[in-house]
Amino acid sequence: MPEFNAPLRDMRFVLHDVFQAPSLWARLPALAETVDADTADAILEEAAKVTGNLIAPLNRSGDEEGAQWEGGNVRTPAGFREAYATYIEGGWVGLSGNPSYGGMGMPKMLAVAFEEMLYAAGSSFALYSALSSGACLAIDAHASEELKTTYLPPMYEGRWAGSMCLTEAHAGTDLGIIRTKAEPQADGSYKVTGSKIFITGGEQDLTENIIHLVLAKLPDAPAGPKGISLFLVPKVMVNADGSLGARNAVSCGSIEHKMGIKASATCVMNFDGATGYLIGEVNKGLAAMFTMMNYERLSIGIQGIGCAEASYQSAVGYARERIQSRAASGPVNHDKVADPIIVHADVRRMLLTMKALNEGGRAFACYVGQQLDLAKYAEDASERQNAEALVALLTPVSKAFFTDTGLESCVHGQQVFGGHGYIREWGQEQLVRDVRIAQIYEGTNGIQALDLLGRKVVANGGAALRLFAAEVRDFAHAHESPFGDRLVEALERLEAVSGWLLDQAKSDPNSVGAASVEYLHLFGYVAYAYMWSRMAAVAQSKQGEDEAFYGAKLATAEFFFARLLPRTLSLEASIRGGSQSLYGLAAEQF
């Protein structure tokens, strides 16, 4: 069975050397007394043990057994309950939660590294706590003090879980047409009635209560998304003293039979006049839910990195051991009948592609985490505003690019194994199946691309893009990176394409939709080029301290700039091809 070992050396490099996180935390009063370099390293070390020793061994067996639905109840696979009990003892659900309600208050820069480990060890297991963490974020940001005091402490403890109930059978992305209703009651509560589908962790046997965050409409609500409100609906009612009372009118009608993440219960949830409590303002529920959705989008993006890292580790180990044919330059293993496949150019191409994308993604996730920390904790108003603008711009890139490249990497990892990659025991086929969902849920990657180009670039005239571009250009001019010129060239390509699209959008309503996916990928490669330039600058300055690590970092950076960044050339050509060719066929001609 494949093993997973958290890439701690690289995580510390990104956190401490590239982004100098401890120095940032020291100047943010809310974090200065909470975390330092030693604390961060201790948390990463413990997280590596938990994910590698507790969760990873359940990944294959959990996939084979799957979650089971029995008469309205869900049974998770063997070992999950015991592992979850141990997991929550460490306080992992509340790692970045509000300390006022029992969270640990750790920065997002640290939390993203933990999330990567968690998804790499077992995506199905990870999802149960990921949804809880996101629900806590929405409750903390928008709920009343009474609701926060009642629900957050046991959720941070992990005794209670959370779920996000948006999707209905007839309404996926278009939430404005949901039918779930909420009727106000004399005591200030609401009766919530409706059915939701694709609810991750909507029912399970890991926790004593599940707190559902449900989108619904009041009887007099305006049509469309402006009429949506958000409600907290507990599976089990909570008494005034915090103890559990009667079962609420919430039930699981079934679970889905899926391609992957089979140990994660994906539920149909029925609310039959269930008691719920308003979160935030009436008819402002979508904005409140987006607090959770944006967290989940970054988290699901990190699922792509985690699965790809697990695939890479397994593929590298196999490529070093599997012997097949001779190296093109002549025998390497003279005492054996063949050389290990890692000598072959195509195998090296696949492994280096995985390594470059994984490490670039790891750095970019930390960078987005940095912006989230600044948006939340910075004392200077302009610094907070700039960080908020970057978070809005980069969240769809994170979700979609991490998961698109995550699937690419997992397919490469499977391909390295050849026929054995298609066989159950090596774990690669499961990773391909598990990572595939990440491109679909929490807003499909096509929707993320529309959000990026339509809302975050075109709608504001490219203001947030200019902010990001200025930072990238300032870095390229101020630091001795061996790849500065190529970084600026790629940035100028992104800026030129963006300007062209801003002009096209004025006269062609189809231009944004036609270009959006390619544009997001172009943006992603430029963002990774920025990350690789930053990593290379540090590696070059420290190369004498650890030739093996920093030399490998520089060599991988060279591969990225030589073999992956040129993909932006074809992406630009495709974008400039315009929308006309997409509309040359009538619907009946397809």
User: pLDDT for 528-556, tens place per residue?
Assistant: 999 999 999 999 999 999 999 999 999 99
Contact between residue 536 and residue 19 where contact means Cβ atoms under 8 Å apart? no
Residue 515 lies in a domain: yes
Of 445, 463, 589, 466, nearest to 520 by C-alpha is 445
Instruction: State how far the Cα of 234 lies from the Cα of 247, in Å rounded to an integer.
Output: 9
Residue 483, class by beta-carbon neighbours within 10 Å (0-12 exposed, 13-18 middle, 19+ buried)? buried
And the tokens for 264? 């994660």
Which position among 116, 359, 429, 442 bears the catalytic label? 442
Q: Are strands 209-216 and 160-165 parallel, antiparallel or unpaired?
A: parallel
Instruction: State how far the Cα of 41 lies from the Cα of 7, in Å rounded to an integer.
Output: 12
Contact between residue 445 and residue 517 where contact means Cβ atoms under 8 Å apart? yes
Residue 544 lies in a domain: yes
Question: Could you give the percent of the chain with pLDDT greater than 70?
Answer: 100
Residue 5 lies in a domain: no
Residues paired with residue 269 on neighbouring β-strands, in sequence order: 196, 252
Domain encompassing residue 474: 445-582
What DSSP assignment string belongs to 253-292?
EEE---SS-TTS-EEEEEEEEEEEEEESSTT-HHHHHHHH
And the tokens for 431? 């990773």
Residues paired with residue 246 on neighbouring β-strands, in sequence order: none
Contact between residue 513 and residue 450 where contact means Cβ atoms under 8 Å apart? yes
Of 311, 299, 127, nearest to 202 by C-alpha is 127
Tell me the HSE value of 339 on the side-chain side, using a 13 A CA sphere: 16
Residue 183, class by beta-carbon neighbours within 10 Å (0-12 exposed, 13-18 middle, 19+ buried)? middle
One-letter identity of residue 509: P
pLDDT of 434 higher than 70: yes
Residues paired with residue 230 on neighbouring β-strands, in sequence order: 215, 279
Q: pLDDT value at position 481?
A: 77
| Interacting residues of 584 by C-beta distance below 8 A, sequence separation 6+ | none
Instruction: State how far the Cα of 302 lies from the Cα of 297, in Å rounded to an integer.
Output: 9
Q: pLDDT value at position 1?
A: 60
Residues paired with residue 164 on neighbouring β-strands, in sequence order: 213
And the tokens for 331? 């025998």
Residue 506, class by beta-carbon neighbours within 10 Å (0-12 exposed, 13-18 middle, 19+ buried)? exposed
And the tokens for 486? 């190529």
Q: pLDDT value at position 222?
A: 94
pLDDT of 90 higher than 80: yes
DSSP 3-state assignment of 432?
Answer: helix
Q: Could you give the number of structural domains in the chain?
A: 1
Of 101, 98, 99, 129, nearest to 115 by C-alpha is 129
Residue 464 lies in a domain: yes
One-letter identity of residue 326: R
Listed range (232-246, 290-304, 505-519) with the worst mean pLDDT: 290-304
* Predicted confidence (pLDDT) per residue in 190-228, tens digit: 999 999 999 999 999 999 999 999 999 999 999 998 999
Residue 504 lies in a domain: yes
Q: Residue 214: which region, alpha, beta or left (left: phi > 0; alpha: psi -120 to 50)? A: beta
* Predicted confidence (pLDDT) per residue in 1-35, tens digit: 679 999 999 999 999 999 999 999 999 999 999 99
Average pLDDT value over all residues in the chain: 96
pLDDT of 465 higher than 80: yes
Residue 131 lies in a domain: no
Instruction: State how far the Cα of 305 lies from the Cα of 400, in Å rounded to an integer.
Output: 11
pTM score: 0.97
Containing 486, the helix (H) or strand (E) segment is helix 484-504
* Predicted confidence (pLDDT) per residue in 340-373, tens digit: 999 999 999 999 999 999 999 999 999 999 999 9
CATH number of the domain residue 474 falls in? 1.20.120
Residue 219, class by beta-carbon neighbours within 10 Å (0-12 exposed, 13-18 middle, 19+ buried)? exposed
One-letter identity of residue 270: N
* Predicted confidence (pLDDT) per residue in 117-173, tens digit: 999 999 999 999 999 999 999 999 999 999 999 999 999 999 999 999 999 998 877
Q: pLDDT value at position 575?
A: 98
Q: pLDDT value at position 223?
A: 92
pLDDT of 56 higher than 70: yes
* Predicted confidence (pLDDT) per residue in 368-422, tens digit: 999 999 999 999 999 999 999 999 999 999 999 999 999 999 999 999 999 999 9
Establish whether 545 is a catalytic residue. Answer: no
One-letter identity of residue 547: E
Question: Could you give the percent of the chain with pLDDT greater than 90?
Answer: 95
Q: pLDDT value at position 111?
A: 97
Residue 546 lies in a domain: yes
Q: What is the DSSP letter of 240?
A: T
pLDDT of 295 higher than 90: no
pLDDT of 252 higher than 70: yes
Residue 474 lies in a domain: yes
Containing 470, the helix (H) or strand (E) segment is helix 463-478
- CA Rg, the chain, in Å? 24
Q: CB count, 10 Å around CB of 6?
A: 26
The confidence band for 296, taking pLDDT boundaries of 50, 70 and 90, is confident
Distance of CA 210 to the CA centre of its chain: 22
Instruction: State how far the Cα of 349 lies from the Cα of 369, in Å rounded to an integer.
Output: 30
What DSSP assignment string belongs to 522-584?
HHHHHHHHHHHHHHHHHHHHHTTT-HHHHHHHHHHHHHIIIIITTHHHHHHHHHHT-SGGGGS
